[in-house]
Amino acid sequence: MALLTRFFPSYLLTIRYYQAMVRVLLSTLLLLCILMLGGCNRSLFPDNNKNLTQFDAYDTMRHGALITEKPDEYGLPEPAIRTRLSRHRR
């Protein structure tokens, strides 16, 4: 005990200090477990879902599927800028 009091003040060696430290460590451990379990849920917007927003779903229902790429003269895909920027037929 004399060795401990040499390096630590006497108020640090009380039972209340140890109880408080145990409470802090357990609450930190509980918080980490909750955060880790919360990360296992499925994502809010999956990557394979084309209609991410209600506006995209509305445009798809009203005007059809949006063409994002079209092949050029050599068969390579390029962005379909004219199709995407043109006005929708009504």
Give the pLDDT confidence of 21-66 residue by residue, as tens digits. 889 999 999 999 888 887 767 766 666 766 567 887 787 788 777 7
- The whole-number pLDDT of residue 23 equals 92
- The whole-number pLDDT of residue 76 equals 92
- Continuous segment of H or E residues that includes residue 31: helix 15-38
CA distances from 75 to 57, 70, 71, 72, 78 (A): 30, 9, 5, 5, 9
Q: Do 39 and 33 touch, CB atoms closer than 8 A?
A: no
